[in-house]
Chains A and B, each alone.
Chain A
């Protein structure tokens, strides 16, 4: 069942978080959220984002919140802020 370790390792994302990679990221993110009590996603090594990537991260946040688990993004790169701004979010 759930991992109760509060110092759970962050979920590390690297490379492009886009429509081409969202499918595989989705599965591992889902698995990560299911098996950890505190969710941290480390984006410091992610280099590019598109709208699908933005949606995926927001879906992850929603999933964690609905499960009552704290959720945080770490190492948010400028490129993510830029696209969120462009999308009016």
Chain B
């Protein structure tokens, strides 16, 4: 594994900057455009241009220059913020992203020229027109043309030299924008004994008289601001630098948050983390073997260190898995753009509200969650939320609301997609299901069961097929994808009021808390998150109802699956067996096993492609004694038992 080279670093940074730009842009309208937002955009593009040129991405730097120019005009009040301008900037952002893709994925240069032409048209047509926005800017002490003296105190990040940078270009650039008196202070340079040669000890007080505004001065510091102390304040007395400067009220970048973040973050390639997780997985397995062996070996003094190792390994495992946890916020942000574009395409007015962006999920889960979420959001916007006129007729607010939420529940995270659209029409779904022969005409189904029919392959009630959400492929794929993540999907809807879909997902895919059970001498693992309770099954208690095995648990009849039957083992039924009752979606199902061994935390090993179609098992784990235990896939088991029941009655 090689260290990432500097152009990789640039690509990562660029990706972050483009993300920021998108985040700002999708929320920006000509009405809400604030000087702050415009500055943020300008600085992001400015950094992209500068770093791009530095790392040899000249196409990016050249193209970004046009956007920067337009934004600079806006900043200086010479160009109003208009929707075509915002759209052109967004298109430019996408184009830059495309330029940074590997050549095989990049589009043609055509787009770039068109965008530049559009930007130029906007800037030349509207430049110099007076706008309200200009008035806002003029309120800041940054108006053009008026000479002003600024007192700047610049204490660079001590690590600046070590990072291959120097404050010198900053000082020279300041000299370039106005009359500059620079007083360098060498008082903090220590004796040789404690000198770190690549550390910055010098700091500066600068009196700058310029016609440029505060933003232009701040921009000079853009590449050195991380970790540096930069205070810029207007000097109304316009005296020279010899005076003792006071702590300025206008302390520019960096804010303290940014500083801590840059100081405490290390970028690590995801593969390194995956390798670490795998190693910890193997360590956990070996540690549990060690525990098992040591409990059998009667060696005095062995138990204590083994216990200590067990504790440390558990701590290590938790820390390592913690590294992979990422807030879901970044994923949510991507959807702001999606919602904006889709709403515009369909002529609908939609607000996106996100909650719980800080909720953390394993990166693997997050990565695989994006596609299903996109589909669900598309569905909500296309089929759920009505057009403005229809909403007004239904006495609803003109603008529809789409709510994306994430929250923790135990060892799961629930991601919700909720709209206030027209909701699901149970009778239409039912009729459609009957028409497609998915259910019998007289089937007795609860409303929820009817809603769940939309997850069946090939089911679609959209009267008009649009190119936004598909042609009846989709919801079943969404469901399969969520299930592949060991998650589940539930749907709740009120006709005319909206639909809520909840995705329940495990925090991590790497480790599972399981209940170890024994069937026919082999060991199996039931995911603990599904286990509700264990009961005993006496031969005399067995009853049969609707072709299913059913057991009474405190008055409630719970269907059960006999795993010996399911696995094709002989029915060596003992008089008393155990039933592990699991909660599968809204249903309680019993699994009949020979013996319940106990709880077991285990690292999941995939079964591999060869066993990919094995329905009953979702993975395997290696036990302390070296034996393999299969992890039960409840969904597969329940589905197959449903099929058997149906077959019996067919």
Q: Which residues of A contact B (CB under 8 A)?
A: 19, 22-23, 25-26, 29-30, 33, 50-52, 54-56, 58-60, 62-63, 66, 83, 86-89
Partner of A52, one of B171, B172, B197, B206: B197
Report the Cα distance A62→B195, complex, angstroms: 11
Contacts of B162 in A (CB 8 A): 19
Contact with A along B185-203 (1 / 0, CB 8 A): 0100111110101101110
User: For residue A62, which residues in chain B have a CB less than 8 angstroms away from its CB?
Assistant: 189-192
Q: Roughly how many angstroms separate A62 CA and B201 CA in the complex, as a whole number?
A: 14
The interface residues of chain A lying within 8 Å CB-to-CB of B192 are: 26, 29-30, 33, 56, 59-60, 62-63
Question: For the complex, is B109 an interface residue (Cβ under 8 Å from A)?
Answer: no
Interface residues of B in 165-199 (CB under 8 A from A): 166-168, 171-172, 182-184, 186, 189-193, 195, 197-198
Contact B202 A87 (CB under 8 A): yes
Instruction: Please tell me if B161 contacts chain A, counting CB pairs below 8 Å.
Output: yes
Question: Does any Cβ of A come within 8 Å of B616's Cβ?
Answer: no
Tell me the smallest distance from the CB of A31 to a CB of chain B, in Å: 10
The reply to whether A63 and B161 contact each other, CB–CB distance below 8 Å, is: no
Chain A residues in 8 Å Cβ range of B204: 88
Contact B186 A56 (CB under 8 A): no
Q: Is the interface of A mostly helix, strand, loop or mixed?
A: helix
Query: A57: nearest residue on chain B (CB-CB)?
Result: B189
Nearest-CB distance from B429 to chain A (Å)?
A: 71
> Which partner residue on chain A sits nearest B200 by CB separation?
A51
**A89–B200 alpha-carbon span in the complex (Å):** 14
Q: A89 vs B198: C-alpha distance in the bound complex, in angstroms?
A: 19
In the complex, the answer to whether A59 meets B171 with C-beta atoms within 8 Å is no
Check A87/B184 contact, CB under 8 A, given A19-B161, A51-B166. Answer: yes
Q: Which A residues are in CB contact (< 8 Å) with B190?
A: 59, 62
**What is the minimal beta-carbon distance from B180 to any residue of chain A, in angstroms?**
9
Q: What residue of chain B has the Cβ atom nearest to residue A67's Cβ?
A: B191
CB distance from A59 to the nearest CB of B (A): 4
**Contacts A26-B197, A56-B197, A62-B189 given: A88-B184 contact, CB under 8 Å?**
yes
Which among B182, B183, B195, B202 is the interface contact of A51 at CB below 8 angstroms? B202
Closest 5 CB pairs of A and B: A22-B197, A88-B182, A88-B184, A63-B191, A59-B195
Query: Pick the contact of B189 from A23, A30, A58 — CB < 8 Å?
Result: A58
Nearest CB on A from B283, distance (A): 40
Quick check: B202 and A23 within 8 Å, CB to CB? no
